[in-house]
Structure 1
């Protein structure tokens, strides 16, 4: 096995993570203990809204503009030797066309001026958000925790982002940075969770962001099918929610449960 192949091995990456980030690994393994203890329970199933585009108000213009932007973004990444899509940033995925189309539509429909996201990787979602915000000179704040156990990919963070004038990249864990950021910038229009998908972390981020989300605002949460956190949260705050299926640009073997889902929570 070559050096690069060994570095990309999931078990090797887990071991490197433990060695270089023992504190940050706590939540990861705590969530897996919870999953193990619930192994005999059936996995949480979400009802999918197959007509989510019409429910969300995705227009023909939204479709055309997002589809037109894809080749440019893919070309930007490929020019740097990055193969976009599933498992392209270590074992993490780039955003898929359905997810970014939903976010693009919401950013424009809400006339968003302030957007916050957690989880950046190559910055595919970030790029689409910034393009959608550009017409109204809005601003995007992105929180990302570079994997200390894989410094060789740090220079790939945000690689898809071209114009960075309306973008603030904050490096650090959301547990330390999110509440502080929201206290500084005040009410937001749109929040996107795409960082660590543990039950503990997802509930934390959704709960903190919801308090700063304006009435009429929206929250988009990726990979909700990994656990019941999104369902638990939406029932807790009694909000309207939509469930949509991922549309990866190539087959994603990691999306086993329900094929990969994202959720949209709308604040009254």
Structure 2
């Protein structure tokens, strides 16, 4: 499904897979702000762009010079703050694109000589390999391992390399089967107290179904009209 999603996006026909109004209604009904979500987790809200303005200015210039259009930055305050709050040393993410989420988490991880393991399937026929993660500066790349393949191949490799992880950030295959497989794989790798964060959870009921499957109520965050889900492993 991940390859099909990328091909459809290439030809401008991509729509969220298996979208249901019920999923959007579920998110809207329980969503809270980024600040309220972080407060609920006893984590201070910090925008990494305020702490590292020069790094982010350089990153913006790197994105502007990229000849390929990829995904946006996402909720970087949420990701950076959670990585800090966990005092994380190891994390896994799926979906890199320009590398904004990678940048936010690596800026926190590098304080503890931590490592980020990323899985990213290059955009079909767009020759994006050389541009994936282009906003991440060279001095952070020593803490970063990218597996350039689909989730079904890359996630097992990443979890074997990482071992137990403090957090997982899911932003790749948005189909329900893809989500359920990816969430389950990442959930098993999380340590007790670790966090699973997923983007775009209103696309379909995959995230809701996984929450029901494991019997844990999520925190749902709304930011700029998009929804992220957070699950803490007992």
1:108 aligns with 2:84: yes
- 2:231 corresponding residue in structure 1: 265
1:210 aligns with 2:193: no
1:156 aligns with 2:122: no
- Most deviating of 67-76 and 158-167: 67-76
Cα 1:201–1:66, aligned 2, differ >3 Å: closer, same or farther?
same
Secondary structure of 1:230's partner?
helix
TM-score (norm 1): 0.73
1:1-268 paired onto structure 2 within 5 Å: 13-14=10-11, 32=17, 34-35=18-19, 42-45=22-25, 46=27, 47-50=30-33, 51-59=36-44, 62-63=46-47, 65-69=48-52, 72-79=55-62, 81-82=64-65, 90=69, 92-96=70-74, 99-151=75-127, 153-162=128-137, 163=139, 164-247=141-224, 259-268=225-234
Give the Å deviation of 1:117.
Answer: 0.4
Gaps of 5+ in 2: 1-6
For CA contacts below 8 A with separation 6 or more, give which structure has more relative contact order: 2
Structure 1 or 2, whichever has the larger Rg, is 1
Gaps of 5+ in 1: 1-9, 18-27, 248-258
Cα 1:82–1:223, aligned 2, differ >3 Å: closer, same or farther?
farther
Give the Å deviation of 1:170.
Answer: 1.0
Cα 1:79–1:184, aligned 2, differ >3 Å: closer, same or farther?
closer
**2:95–2:172 Cα contact (<8 Å) kept:** yes
**2:97–2:132 Cα contact (<8 Å) kept:** yes
**1:243–1:262 Cα contact (<8 Å) kept:** yes
TM-score (norm 2): 0.83
Give the Å deviation of 1:12.
Answer: 8.0
Give the Å deviation of 1:70.
Answer: 5.4
